[in-house]
Structure 1
Amino acid sequence: MPLWHIYHPPGTYTPPQKKQLADDITGLYTRFGLPKFYVVVLFHEIDADSFYVGGEPTPDAVRIVVEHIARHTSDPDMRRRTREALAALLAPHTKDRGLYCEFHIDETPQDLWMIDGIAPPPPQSEAEQHWARENRPIPY
């Protein structure tokens, strides 16, 4: 599962803008075969007096923490391409709107992950493809 935490000032995103960003994020992952329901996006509004960058309150910053669980890579080129793909996806929602944006990606061990009490199937397995088609976890 990719779990995205998007920390932003109040009013930065309208409900339709949140929906569009969540759709863009989901689309990135489903292009690689992940089930849609693996993608979770959480928006966290943070007041400027609680959001500091370099010790200064920051009214126009977005900070994103991405947790990758379903897929990991140690290949440096793939890691670079992943980072660049995320930056390109985010630009219309942040940088192009004049917002300072920073993100990082953590990789959570897959063996510490369950959905509805079921350990997710191996990547790209028939069971995972079945989950993607049904868009829900199914015992296998």
Structure 2
Amino acid sequence: MPLWHVYHPPGAYTPGQKQQLSTDITQFYTSFGLPPFYVMVLFHGVAADSFHVGGEPNGAAVRIVVEHIARHTEDPRLRKRTREALATLLAPHTAERGLYCEFHIDETPRDLWMIDGLTPPPPGSDAEQQWARDNRPTPY
């Protein structure tokens, strides 16, 4: 599962802009075969007096924490491509709107993850493909 925490100034995103960003994020991951329901995006509005960059309040900053669980990248070239692809995905939602943006990706061990009491199926397996088609977890 990729879990995205998007920390942003209040009012930085309309409901429609939040929907578009979460759709873009979901499409990124489903293009690699992940079930859509694996992708979660949480928006956290943070007032400028509670969002400091370099020791100063900042009302135009976005900080994103991405947690990857379903897939991990060990190859440095793939990690770089992933980082660059996510920067490209984010640009229309951040930099191109005049928002300062920083993000990082954490990789949580897959064996510490469950969905509705089920251990997710192995990557690329028939069961995972079935989950993607059904867009929900089912026993396998």
Give the whole-Å Cα distance in 2 for the aligned partners of 1:60 and 1:89: 19
Secondary structure of the residue that 1:43 maps to in structure 2?
strand
Give the whole-Å Cα distance in 1 for the aligned partners of 2:54 and 2:119: 41
Matches within 5 A, 1:30-109: 30-109=30-109
Structure 1 residue aligned with 2:134: 134
Give the whole-Å Cα distance in 2 for the aligned partners of 1:74 and 1:22: 26
> Does residue 113 of structure 2 align to residue 113 of structure 1?
yes
Return the TM-score normalized by structure 2.
Answer: 1.00
Structure 1 residues 107-136: Cα deviation after superposition (integer angstroms, max 9, x where no partner): 000000000000000000000000000000
Give the unaligned 5+ runs of structure 2. none
AA in 1 matched with 2:43 = F
AA in 1 matched with 2:25 = I
CA drift of 1:105 comes to: 0.1
CA drift of 1:19 comes to: 0.1
CA RMSD of aligned residues (A): 0.3
AA in 2 matched with 1:99 = L
Give the whole-Å Cα distance in 2 for the aligned partners of 1:62 and 1:106: 17
Q: How many residues align?
A: 140
Structure 1 residues 22-65: Cα deviation after superposition (integer angstroms, max 9, x where no partner): 00000000000000000000000000000000000000000000
Give the whole-Å Cα distance in 2 for the aligned partners of 1:98 and 1:135: 35
CA drift of 1:73 comes to: 1.2
Return the TM-score normalized by structure 1.
Answer: 1.00
AA in 1 matched with 2:94 = T
**Identity over aligned residues, as a percent?**
76
Stretches of 4+ moved more than 2 A in 1? none
AA in 2 matched with 1:47 = A
